Structure 1
């Protein structure tokens, strides 16, 4: 990757999140009163682009976002919210035939959440988008992918990146119940499932370090060169070739976990693009995810590079509120 201009491409979903905060998450058929609600930027593609861009502002990296929004007010809002992060939106297409994606989120008093997504324009992406952005895919140092656009397009983008030697980082969320297609396993470099996604992909729910190690080995056997098992407040286990290890959780006061996974991937990809060894990059990723939980919101909770470096190197948390 040393010959490439230092930039990252996130190819995926852009949503507007409508987040309600309640004492608890309702049971099926039940209505609960929320104390408040907010509208903000979302979509795993946009969140990861925003996280990487905020980190990149502190270390000289540029981040592009490729995808679609609708030609509607939510599309205009999404663009206006992405711009301050420094994300290059030249590859973000406006689709007049489909609405901007929306995510309906409920967060409870323990910072746990449930999310319902209406994909809209995200699900209208097709091979013309891959063709249009081929030069950007080829020139990127790293590609961030998620599973909130059609699977066939995710595979096509990953294969295009693999042919060019671009590092492919997949957040397998939302994970399909029948696992990932073999074509996608063959085209990715790094896979980063959380506990639920790990269970769907491997049959193992990683509650302990030993179970996470078993799951990481299985992910590696399925085709991932580098496998990370994110266990939330229990830490992260990684396997990269013959190298493996456990990164314990950073101690933070979590108030919102919505974007922790997206900030984890943004931090991981930023660190790898900067040439950090894989084991070290995992620590930067874990710190990015942990810091994201200390602030409300999705993309807006992303930390900056110096905060992450400070947490990794000294264990000190800078007040971000």
Structure 2
């Protein structure tokens, strides 16, 4: 049985195939890499692992609702979630193959990613009905599984009094932008990066917004929510519907791989919210955690555990 502080992550599970290159290939260009490495990924799984690691020993449980294929990749992904303390009872075995992400990382640590969704498209919110929604304090969602199912999952948990944290990444394609108001109407915490903030604000009628901060403030007021913009080395900034603003800085690092940094931020932020920490404290911990995740290759390898985060506000 989940506790009253439990977190539900509804989202994607992938295996990441990563190649390091001098420069990311342009259209029509072939580049060589000395090797390819495999890592566990998927925005949903990444955020679940980050949340579970940061919640270690607190009594907060993290449950993953997702789908994998009937293949060795799926078995490995499930084992990895369990090894990181994630409850996998809501992960289904679908007929489609396990999702895969193909990632190239350049010498500066920047990346380009192509995702083959596979089993992630088979995720169904109806299957959550067999589980008790009431114990969840928070649901975490992204944009790598069917939107209709994410909306249904968010409504199901919201009805029980839980908060909704939606990481609007990747930015919704044009055909889904007509549903942005529907998404934001149910959200308590919206997390976007700088580009996503501008794209969403423009889609909702604020095309003249030139800065992410302006876009975030607009989104917060429009739907009376908390909009948090992650800005990489510049830290993060949050706007609330009331107009209040909270900003935190990021520690200086020499990044090796930025893959998964945003997901680390979201997962650790979710734990802070579930614990009842003030927003600024939750953001400080999440920003510090995201910076640490950039120091190792792969989305999950560098995600910090609970002990690594103690006193993190003093390390920024």
Same fold at TM > 0.5: yes
In the other structure, the counterpart of 1:258 is 259
In the other structure, the counterpart of 2:207 is none
Q: Distance in 2 between matches of 1:229 and 1:56?
A: 23
In the other structure, the counterpart of 2:44 is 45
Q: Write the deviation string for residues 95-152 of structure 1: whole angstroms up to 9, x where unpaired.
A: 1x2111111111111000011011111111234334344x1x4321111101111010
Unaligned runs of 5+ in 1: 205-209, 316-321
Q: What SS class does the counterpart of residue 48 from structure 2 fall into?
A: helix
Q: Write the deviation string for residues 12-53 of structure 1: whole angstroms up to 9, x where unpaired.
A: 111111111111101111111113321121110000001111
Q: Write the deviation string for residues 231-264 of structure 1: whole angstroms up to 9, x where unpaired.
A: 1112211112432122122212211100100000
Q: What SS class does the counterpart of residue 108 from structure 2 fall into?
A: coil
1:216–1:228 CA contact under 8 A, matched in 2: yes
Q: Distance in 2 between matches of 1:138 and 1:33?
A: 51
1:14–1:42 CA contact under 8 A, matched in 2: yes
Q: Distance in 2 between matches of 1:166 and 1:8?
A: 9
2:4–2:134 CA contact under 8 A, matched in 1: no
1:215–1:229 CA contact under 8 A, matched in 2: no
Q: Distance in 1 between matches of 2:292 and 2:280?
A: 19
Cα distance, 1:58 vs structure 2? 4.2
For these two proteins, the number of residue pairs brought into alignment is: 305
- The answer on 1:221 being equivalent to 2:208 is no
Q: What SS class does the counterpart of residue 141 from structure 1 fall into?
A: strand
Q: What SS class does the counterpart of residue 187 from structure 1 fall into?
A: coil
After TM superposition, the structure 1 stretch with the greater mean CA deviation from structure 2, 221-230 or 144-153, is: 221-230
Q: Distance in 1 between matches of 2:279 and 2:125?
A: 32
In the other structure, the counterpart of 1:5 is 4
After TM superposition, the structure 1 stretch with the greater mean CA deviation from structure 2, 176-185 or 73-82, is: 176-185
Q: What SS class does the counterpart of residue 91 from structure 1 fall into?
A: strand
Q: Distance in 1 between matches of 2:15 and 2:315?
A: 36
Q: Distance in 2 between matches of 1:224 and 1:140?
A: 22
In the other structure, the counterpart of 1:57 is 56
Q: Distance in 2 between matches of 1:292 and 1:305?
A: 13
- The answer on 1:158 being equivalent to 2:118 is no
State the Cα RMSD in Å: 1.9
Structure 1 residues 253 and 232: CA distance shift in structure 2, 3 A:
same
Q: What SS class does the counterpart of residue 87 from structure 2 fall into?
A: coil
Q: Distance in 2 between matches of 1:254 and 1:310?
A: 22
Cα distance, 1:218 vs structure 2? 1.4
Q: Distance in 1 between matches of 2:224 and 2:129?
A: 25
Q: What SS class does the counterpart of residue 253 from structure 2 fall into?
A: coil
Structure 1 residues 224 and 48: CA distance shift in structure 2, 3 A:
farther
1:22–1:36 CA contact under 8 A, matched in 2: no
Cα distance, 1:222 vs structure 2? 3.5
